[in-house]
Amino acid sequence: MQHSTSAARVLRMKDLPAKVGFQPSTLYELIALGKFPRPFKLVQGGRASGWLEHEIDAWILEHKSSGRAQ
């Protein structure tokens, strides 16, 4: 019996500039404006947060197909 699971990769802020081409300050501004996915807490009550990579990939594809940079 084979099980095929694809692990969800969590990206941290340090990973995003290379992936989306924006610096953290721009990303935080886009989050505040509702134009970029909000991060989620990795541990309830903790400080660390991240994004699921597939959500960021979807955001990139959506903005590529719509021709919008932001």
| Tokens read off for 57 | 């990939």
Q: Which helix (H) or strand (E) holds 11?
A: strand 10-11
Mean of the pLDDT values across residues 27-40?
Answer: 97
Query: Which amino acid is it at 26?
Result: T
Q: Which residue has the tokens 């594809």?
A: 61
pLDDT at 68 over 60: no
pTM score: 0.79
pLDDT level of residue 1 (50, 70, 90 thresholds): very low
